[in-house]
């Protein structure tokens, strides 16, 4: 399993990629610290081009999905509960 971490608009995005029989799957965890409270949301992108051919592609896709979720571009995902 590979992982990558990034910061975006006050969130910490932790992406991971797992090897499957063919290609890689991915997920991203959005974390936000509010004083002593830490809130998390784990997302598993359901994109049409899964599985990914390599780890790097899977990780970058997961980070992009997390950024899109934070920006409100993913239908059905509301990160307001993390504020």
pLDDT tens-digit readout, 33-63: 888 889 999 998 766 556 788 899 999 999 9
- pTM metric for this prediction: 0.87
Under 8 Å between Cβ of 15 and 62: yes
Quick one: pLDDT at residue 47? 62
pLDDT tier for residue 3 given thresholds of 50, 70 and 90? very high
Rounded percentage of the chain residues whose pLDDT exceeds 70:
94
Quick one: pLDDT at residue 50? 67
Quick one: pLDDT at residue 82? 86
């Amino acid at each position: 399993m590979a992982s990558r971490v990034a910061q975006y608009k006050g969130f910490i995005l932790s992406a991971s990629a797992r090897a499957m029989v063919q290609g890689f799957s991915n997920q991203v965890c959005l974390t936000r610290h509010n004083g002593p409270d830490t809130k998390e949301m784990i997302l598993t992108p359901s994109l049409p081009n899964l599985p990914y051919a390599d780890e790097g592609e899977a990780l970058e896709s997961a980070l992009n999905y997390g950024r899109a979720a934070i920006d409100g571009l993913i239908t059905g995902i509301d990160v307001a509960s993390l504020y």
